[in-house]
Chain A
Amino acid sequence: MNSTIIWTIVILAGLGLVLSLVLYLVAKKFKVEEDPRIDEVEKVMPGANCGGCGFAGCRAFAEAAVKAPNLDNNYCPVGGNEVMKQVAAILGYEIKEKAPMVAVVRCNGSCANRPAVNIYDGVKSCKVKAALYSGDTACSFGCLGCGDCVEACQFGALSMNPETGLPQVDESKCTACGACVKACPKAVIELRAKGPRGMREFVSCINRDKGPVAKKACAAACIGCGICAKTCTHDAITVENNVAYIDSGKCKLCRECEAVCPTGAIHGVNFPKPLDVEATKARIAKRKAEAASGQPVATKGPGSMVNGPLAAQAVPSDAPINKVVSK
């Protein structure tokens, strides 16, 4: 009885010893040499594995970053400059700082602004809907409202607003990974520079139809009238394919375009004070009068928010921008 127990222990212990030796030798022989920096880089990554950087996940990004000769093409939008600084410190590279970005929904075709002309009862997926037809309103460019972007967001930053039927972005949660941009079949969502203290101006419409058609489809559509471009003293607005676009690199946040837009398609967000339309219009009129009378006109918008302490935080002009390109 006793000997059985002893023999069992001896045999199992012996087996364990032999197998551990085999494992040790195998591990020695087939050891894969890996740059230890990959692990270090991976550790400082956010670990969201969202794919926003263009790689399959944080590990893949770390591998690519270690292999690359510099960090110019590798940037983690989720971690932002903070994380990239740490990565750069580990790898001994320089980084180009990028302005923090945020997802912006460029459509204000709410239920009130953009009446439905037919009823869609198909699969609740923007992709399926876009493949079937132009959408349930007369606007064939705007948000389809099935929430593919909400589903794509891993950070819970997007939600559908039941009142407007449009997605809304929670800026505190948005990491600018770009998953929603890829998920939107209509290219409504754009990653834009967040702007100083989150303040930014953008055209909340991408309708390329001619003015009357766009206006008929949606009360808040950009009609491509070009008044904003004519008013802008910073050369930040271009009107292409009947729709205006504000270059966030050039915009000085003077909000004059917002004041003159006849359909309210230009939106300014996170400004400390609401826009005083009358005062701004008066300012523009005064400047125009001055220009007509031959007096020199200030090159910078007089009311520019960037004059003063905020100027240092201004968006660098080489910030990447997803511009509307005509097909």
Chain B
Amino acid sequence: MNKNVTFSIGGIHPNDNKIARGCAIEALPLPQTLYVSVAQHLGAPAKPVVAVGDKVKTGQVIAEPGGFISAFVHSPASGTVRSIAPRKDLAGNWMTHIEISVEGDEWVEGVDLSDTLVTGIPEDIPATLEKIKACGVVGLGGATFPTHVKLNPGPQAHPECLILNGAECEPFLTSDYRIMLEKTKEIIVGAAIMQKVLGGVKTVIAIEENKPEAIEAMRKALSELPYGNISVLVMKKRYPQGGEKQLIDAVMRRQVKSGALPVSVGAVVQNVATSLAVYEAVQKNKPLITNTLTVTGDCLPVERQHNYLFRIGMPLSFIAEYAGGVPAEAAKIVSGGPMMGKAIANLDAATVKGSSSILYLSGKLTKRREEGSCIRCGRCSDACPMGLEPFLLNRLYKAGDVEGLEANAAQDCIECGCCLYSCPSFIPLLDNIRMAKGQVMGVIRARAAAAKAAADAAKNENKK
């Protein structure tokens, strides 16, 4: 076992705290009402195609893509559409939600609900992609980028390697680990389908060394299944190994250039949960309406930690209540991992396709300590996995120097939080750099828009 596989620069080693690793996935019961957001994915929000009062079945399309980068949304249960109205999301901002009053769990026709493993890989690639799109599959690693777009990189691109992301480098989260244990074969079939779509490329299932059971299970399942050119790669434990560019670096030893897509170095990265969703979509016709979520935290006793199979649109408060309520010591409730997740401002918010956890953190872990002066120790620069200089970006942001920020690649920040984690002076580096990134991205977009307008004007000139 080569124990030195990891990305080349930066990174930190937070305690992994995978307390819920032993909890088997448990399906949640349906609540009385589900609130399905139309913004479940990266890109344009979906457009509702149902009206108030309509009867819907589980898995029925209730919203269609609102643009090229967008995805279908399906009903998570059968029932009646009660309203299509704005509702507050996780951050407390208004977003259109389709409210469904649940009457049962009657599925649309053509969905295979059995547990039988279907191993035959369909030959027709366009039909497979169409199925993935129709089932609303999006990347479940966090960014929720529509999978059919990522699997179809265009004729100019030459994918060489499909990387299945089983790193789960965020502390506390165990949902990917559990599905790798419980749905091992399904994940591998999903990988084989994506491998086929990308033209039979080399496929690597990358898992961090702190999940030996998952590695063992994957290896065993691979030897039992008839697919070739798929292997398991064991990586050193390090955060943020699950970041797309970091994972490509670890697996392929290639660096993605600033502003370029992973496919420019021949890599396509998909999360293991996405692979499972692809399997269910292609082999079982099952749209993406479920995902796995971990209820965990440092102030939650082990026996109250769970891994749940949830339906999209379930209010987080329902799940929290089912899991035994919010612990009294919880100072902060986070959706996502402790490093990159967002604090939940509104526990009534509904789950979306990409929800991965309800994390109760104690005051001890979340306390913001008073900001000190930068002592130029350089720890943030050492920790940054993108090779940036966070202390410099912080200073440039404070000075309002957008040009300087762009020259120092603030736009490449992946917001992993390593700088903030490593800063001995508790300077809110990430918060400021995130703002700086927004400013720089705005400038870049404005410039691209101006260039496009100029090109269009020149074209019109030529036509005249």
Contact = CB atoms under 8 A, between A and B. Distances in A.
A123 B345 contact: no
A131 B345 contact: no
Interface string B170-197: 0000000000000000000000000000
A278 interface: no
Contact of A118 (B88, B345, B434): B345
Contacts of B435: 125, 127-128, 131
Nearest to B94: A140
A123 B430 CA distance: 10
Interface string A219-262: 00000000000000000000000000000000000000000000
A6 B431 CA distance: 68
Contacts of B368: 121-122
B342 interface: yes
A122 B431 contact: yes
A133 B367 CA distance: 18
Contacts of B438: 131
B345 A122 contact: no
Nearest to A140: B92
Contact of B345 (A121, A125, A128, A134): A134
B432 A123 contact: yes
Contacts of B443: none
Interface string A103-139: 0000000000000011001110101100111110010
A134 B88 CA distance: 9
B12 interface: no
A133 B428 contact: no
Chain B interface, DSSP helix/strand/loop, else mixed: mixed
A140 B431 CA distance: 20
A133 B431 contact: no
B93 interface: yes
B432 A134 contact: no
Nearest to B430: A123
B235 to A, nearest CB: 31
B222 interface: no
A104 to B, nearest CB: 25
B390 to A, nearest CB: 14
Contacts of A121: 366-368
A138 B428 CA distance: 25
Nearest to A138: B92
Contacts of A131: 434-435, 438
Given A121-B368, A122-B368, A133-B343, A128 B91 contact: no
A145 to B, nearest CB: 15
Contact of B431 (A117, A128, A134, A138): A128
Contact of A135 (B92, B342, B428, B431): B92
B91 A134 contact: yes
A24 to B, nearest CB: 38
Nearest to B434: A131
A133 B334 CA distance: 13
Interface string B78-113: 000000000010111110000000000000000000
A326 to B, nearest CB: 13
A134 B93 contact: yes
Interface string A16-39: 000000000000000000000000
Contacts of B432: 123, 128
B92 A123 contact: no
A134 B94 CA distance: 9
Contacts of B94: 140
A122 B93 CA distance: 18
B198 to A, nearest CB: 36
Contacts of B431: 122-123, 125, 128, 132
Nearest to B345: A133
Question: Which of A132, A135, A138 counts the most chain B CB atoms within 10 A?
Answer: A132
Contacts of A138: 92
A203 B73 CA distance: 40
Contacts of A128: 428, 431-432, 434-435
Given A121-B368, A122-B368, A123-B428, A134 B434 contact: no
A182 to B, nearest CB: 12
Nearest to B438: A131
Contacts of A123: 428, 431-432
A117 B348 CA distance: 13
Question: Which of A117, A127, A134 counts the most chain B CB atoms within 10 A?
Answer: A134
A209 B91 CA distance: 16
Interface of B: 88, 90-94, 342-343, 345, 366-368, 428, 431-432, 434-435, 438
Given A131-B435, A132-B343, A132-B431, 17 more contacts: A121-B367, A122-B428, A122-B431, A123-B428, A125-B431, A128-B428, A128-B435, A131-B438, A132-B91, A133-B90, A133-B91, A133-B345, A134-B88, A134-B91, A134-B345, A140-B92, A140-B93
9 contacts: A123-B431, A123-B432, A127-B435, A128-B435, A133-B90, A133-B92, A138-B92, A140-B88, A140-B92
* Chain A to chain B: the 4 pairs with minimum beta-carbon distance, closest first: A134-B92, A133-B91, A123-B431, A123-B428
